Structure 1
Amino acid sequence: MENQKANKLVDKILENLDKTGINKDTLVDDIKELRTYALDEKIPLVVKVLRLAYEHLEANSTFLIPILDDEPLDEEQEAGENDLDTPVESLKYLIALTKNLNNKGNIADLREYKDLLMRY
């Protein structure tokens, strides 16, 4: 997103996820606040994905959507060591995608997350 406050909030959310994992109460509030920035910037895809994400967190108390499938990042992961496929890592990836919306890959991944959340 273009708004510096929104990007600082993204950084705060990612930092909190690293420190405390999925703390539903603060996380939902932060995602709702981030969504208001997306509303202000008129980015409907981000507005929808963030709403679906916090509704999913409210309903499940965790993030049950797996991280998006991509090519293995290194040989260790090819050998089956996949530390990235956790609820925290998947949610961190989704939130991080909102920082750079000029990247077509990020937009495609946000659309995929939207589809997965809607089907869940």
Structure 2
Amino acid sequence: MENTQAIKLVDKILKNLDETGINTDTLIDDIKELRVYAIEAKVPLLVKVLRYTYEHIEEHDSFLIPILDDEPLDEEEDGAEEGNDASPEESLSYLIALVKNLNNKGNLSDLKEYKELLMAY
């Protein structure tokens, strides 16, 4: 995202996640505010993902979507998916960090995958 205020908000969210975990009081408001920047930037995928994210957190008081696997081929070697070991905070931090660089095709692909996971949950 190009907006410096949005980037500052992303940094604030990530810092709060590191320090206090998923504190629904401030986190939901911050994600809603970040969504406004996504609307202004005209990024419909991000708008939806952020809405699904805060609705999911409101409903479950946590972020229950596992972090995306970078290397799906490793599953056979160690017998388990890497992403299942990540905490809800780590998965949410990864999703929020994707917002910083929407020009990266990998980030957009991951946002699409999070959207599908949130819709299916």
Find the counterpart in structure 2 of residue 50 from structure 1. 50
Amino acid across the alignment from 1:112: E
Q: Any stretches of 5+ residues in structure 2 without a counterpart?
A: 73-77
Large movers: runs of 4+ above 6 Å: none
> Structure 1: how far apart are the matches of 2:53 and 2:62?
10
| TM-score, with length taken from structure 2 | 0.89
More helix by share: 2
Q: How does 1:72-91 map to 2 (within 5 A)?
A: 85-91=86-92
1:30 equivalent to 2:30? Answer yes
1:54-105 Cα offsets, whole Å, 9 max, x none, are 0000000000000001228xxxxx697x696110000000000011000000
* Structure 1 gap segments, 5+ residues each: 73-77
Cα deviation, 1:32-56, whole Å, max 9, x if unaligned, reads 0000000001000000000000000
Q: What residue is the counterpart of 2:102 in the other structure?
A: 101
* Percentage identity across paired residues of the two chains: 68
Count of aligned positions: 114
What RMSD over aligned residues (CA atoms) do the two structures have, in Å? 1.7
